[in-house]
Amino acid sequence: MHRFDDPPISLRRIGLLVLVAAALAPAAWRLSRPFAASAEPGEVVLTYMCWGNPQQLEAEREIIRLFNEKNRREGRKLRVELFMPPAGGYAQKLRLMLASGTAPDVIRVDHYDFPSLVPRGYFRDLTDLAAADPDFNVNDFHPAAQRENYYNGRLYAVNVLFGGVICYYNKDLFRQALLDDPYELWKKGQWTWDKFEEVAQALTVRRDGRTVQYGVIMPGTAGGGVANWTWFIWVWGEGGEILSEDRRTSLLDSPAAIRAFQRYRDLRFRLRVAPTPADAAAAAFNLESGNVAMTFEWAGMAPRYRAIADFEWDIAPTPHSPDRPYALVKGNQLVMTATCRHPKEAWEWMKFMVSPEVELLLHGDRLRRNVPTRNALLGIGPDAPADIRQTYLYAEKPFFHTDVIPFVLNHARHLPIDPAWPVWTTEAQKYIDMLFVNENATAADILPRAKVAVDRVLEREHRRLERYLSTSAEVGHGD
């Protein structure tokens, strides 16, 4: 669980920290060893750390190879080496390396963690580097992606593996049921929550008292609940919020939130168009199996679904009222660590990672790993290539409805992620899970209790943050 620690205010605490540092010293030394890469005289070797499955890491290696070859052609003694921590626990390992000063030069950080790490001074402020670079213009990037890169008005990152939540659906099942295609409904302004529930019911098939096909599957948790990012899609659909604007108070007991969560859980327990926890635990139902008509997932799921060979599938936006369109987006940040000894060279690598060449390689029709952040690749603005094959919009393999993605970004909404996010969402999950595992639970009963618990956590965590920032500023480490 990620929390801000209380500031060191006692000799006992100081002593404890010294003991912990001593205990971790061998580990920190071992972590630093992979970075002692051999370099030729005058050569700069940067270390870069990221995560991914073997196929994804192979794409990262190809990008590194392209960057290193480019530098060789241009006569620059600069190269990047990939550092891969052992599988599992990436975020925890990253925090240990940052705290011990042994982190690589450039690292990828999930946005869930970025807001809690940047106030600690772990990352270099990139504002002046970017402003002084004639080859970098923040206006070349979509504002929905750029928004996540700032802290206190200063640029600390560039966004990578950015994307939005979309509706993946089985086109064959819609055809067989003689139902309008969700993409076509969206184009006509008819892809609303009411229509979604209607088609989910029509696409749920039961035989001999047993469900053999579901209209929709809910992205879930190990305990049978639903993923916390999905809460916002439903609450926003009812015109509500989950937190107050200052993120200090929960609005889970608001009429809009109660309506939204009740409607969400009704998919499982009243309409019975979504699998139960038992069904989900057995992995009996998923989009790939052809027995689920729709699912809401991040755009980065496209490479996985491209393995489907038994039916046609494509995408549409998540349902919304035509007079109040919205879509959920989130990315990951590429940051330069404060301990990086070659910031100018590291900035060149970061720029390359978000260059048109690399974004098209990663996110174009070849890989579709996620969504580009550059306006031009999205077909937006005067710099968009005239040849659609040089943009993200070109597709020879599913998904083909690529125009959904610019719509998602142009109507983007962001999760209220801050240093308190991991803690209050964990607390809220305890209550919200009850709605999705207990058929007799109601939102009107559960959510006011959740609000009280979450408010208590928010108050505590914001006090922690204020104490931490105040203490850091006093010793000269504040931002």
Q: Is residue 19 part of a domain?
A: no
Shared domain for 394 and 273, answered yes or no, is no
Q: In sequence order, what DSSP letters do the residues of 94-126 get, joined into one string?
A: HHHHHHHT---SEEEEETTTHHHHGGGT-B---
Q: Is residue 468 part of a domain?
A: no
| Residue 87, pLDDT score | 65
Shared domain for 176 and 266, answered yes or no, is yes
pLDDT over threshold 70, residue 19:
no
The 3-state DSSP class for residue 210 equals strand
Q: Look at 41 and 61; give whichever has higher pLDDT.
A: 61
pLDDT over threshold 50, residue 31:
no
Q: Is residue 28 part of a domain?
A: no
Q: Is residue 467 part of a domain?
A: no
Distance, in Å, from the CA atom of 164 to the CA atom of 331, rounded to the nearest integer, reads: 8
**Residue 90 DSSP symbol:** H
Distance, in Å, from the CA atom of 264 to the CA atom of 235, rounded to the nearest integer, reads: 9
Shared domain for 285 and 352, answered yes or no, is no
Cβ pair 303, 371 in contact under 8 A: no
| Residue 454, pLDDT score | 98
Confidence class for position 8, pLDDT limits 50, 70, 90: very low
Shared domain for 305 and 214, answered yes or no, is yes
Domain termination site, one of 388, 414, 440: 414
Region 50-54 average pLDDT: 89
Q: Is residue 450 part of a domain?
A: yes
- 276, amino acid identity: T
Shared domain for 287 and 342, answered yes or no, is no
Shared domain for 283 and 298, answered yes or no, is yes
Domain termination site, one of 365, 397, 414: 414
Cis bond leading into 399, ω under 30°? yes
Domain termination site, one of 358, 386, 414: 414
Shared domain for 152 and 210, answered yes or no, is no
Q: Is residue 465 part of a domain?
A: no
266 is written with which tokens? Answer: 């009704």
Shared domain for 390 and 428, answered yes or no, is no
Q: Which CATH number belongs to the domain containing residue 116 in this structure?
A: 3.40.190.10
Number of folded domains in the chain? 2
Shared domain for 245 and 301, answered yes or no, is yes
Shared domain for 281 and 409, answered yes or no, is no
Shared domain for 187 and 117, answered yes or no, is no
Region 75-97 average pLDDT: 90
Shared domain for 287 and 430, answered yes or no, is yes
Q: Is residue 8 part of a domain?
A: no
Host domain of residue 201: 164-325+422-454
Pairing of strands 292-298, 210-217: parallel
Mean pLDDT, the chain, whole residue set = 90
Q: Is residue 106 part of a domain?
A: yes
Confidence class for position 1, pLDDT limits 50, 70, 90: very low
Q: Look at 158 and 25; give whichever has higher pLDDT.
A: 158
29 is written with which tokens? Answer: 């030394």
pLDDT over threshold 60, residue 257:
yes
| Residue 13, pLDDT score | 37
3-class secondary structure per residue, 416-472: CCCCCHHHHHHHHHHHHHHHHHCCCCCHHHHHHHHHHHHHHHHHHHHHHHHHHHHHH
| pLDDT tens by residue, 179-198 | 999 999 999 999 999 999 99
